[in-house]
């Protein structure tokens, strides 16, 4: 019988076995600083815009205008990639947009006063979530931007001031909510002037007391 030779196996084509490489999407471009300033300015000017609209006795009109201004800004904020802890900050634009939709739908001015309370609740969630066991308090994170190694008393100090800032946000949310019952001028003055004065006093007090408590730091 003639000798049969085994046929050579076909060479494996690496292109047939290697799955095609799917390029990863490029990272999202960092937002322009001017855009961040615009978004911040819109939320800071919110009480003045509400006052101008309520003075004209047209809650629906002012709510519609604010939705046109803040809607795209809120959508932009929601699309930004952020750590899990910072997602609390989405609470402010989401609650504000929902309240504006309610004001525009029912033509009710009461919904226009939600924004300062929503911002305080967002910061309360952001700071308060860092007080959980095993997490670094928010003020300690700020401190470590300047000093990497903190002593145990310094860490306790940072935790204390994180708690105090949480109390500050609770006080602000409560005050802003109660001032809805007062004349609108009081509400506007508090949210555009007194709130920022109180915040500045908190920063100054912490700095002065820290210098006294840790003079060598």
Q: Structural domain boundaries of the chain?
A: 34-213
pLDDT digits (tens, 9 = 90+) for 1-25: 445 444 554 544 444 444 444 443 4
* DSSP symbol at 8: P
d(CA 174, CA 75): 27
pLDDT tens across the length of the chain (217 residues): 445 444 554 544 444 444 444 443 444 444 556 666 777 777 788 898 888 888 877 889 889 988 988 877 777 766 666 665 567 778 888 888 999 999 999 998 899 999 999 999 999 999 999 999 889 999 999 999 888 889 999 999 999 999 999 999 999 999 999 999 999 999 999 999 999 999 999 999 999 999 898 887 6
Degrees (nearest 5) of the Cα angle 94, 117, 120?
90
Q: Where are the alpha helices (DSSP H) in the chain?
A: 14-17, 33-44, 46-55, 59-79, 91-106, 114-129, 138-143, 152-178, 184-189, 195-213
Q: Are 114 and 95 in contact (CB under 8 A)?
A: yes
Q: Are 120 and 172 in contact (CB under 8 A)?
A: yes
């Amino acid at each position: 019988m003639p000798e049969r030779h085994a046929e050579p196996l076909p060479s494996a084509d690496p292109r047939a076995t290697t799955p095609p490489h799917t390029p990863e999407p490029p990272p999202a471009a960092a937002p322009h600083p001017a855009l961040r300033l615009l978004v911040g300015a819109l939320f800071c000017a919110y009480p003045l815009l509400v006052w101008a609209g309520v003075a004209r006795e047209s809650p629906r009109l002012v709510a519609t205008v604010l939705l046109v201004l803040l809607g795209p800004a809120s959508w932009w904020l929601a699309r930004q990639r952020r750590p899990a802890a910072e997602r609390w900050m989405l609470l402010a634009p989401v609650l504000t947009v929902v309240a504006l939709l309610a004001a525009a739908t029912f033509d009710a001015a009461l919904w226009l006063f939600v924004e300062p309370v929503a911002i305080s609740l967002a910061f309360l969630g952001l700071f308060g979530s860092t007080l959980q066991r095993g997490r670094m308090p928010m003020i300690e994170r700020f401190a470590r931007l300047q000093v990497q190694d903190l002593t145990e008393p310094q860490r306790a100090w940072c935790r204390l001031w994180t708690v105090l800032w949480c109390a500050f946000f609770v006080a602000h949310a409560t005050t802003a909510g109660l001032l809805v019952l007062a004349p609108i001028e009081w509400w506007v003055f508090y949210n555009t002037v007194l709130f920022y004065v109180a915040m500045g006093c908190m920063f100054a007090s912490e700095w002065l007391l820290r210098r006294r408590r840790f003079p060598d730091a």
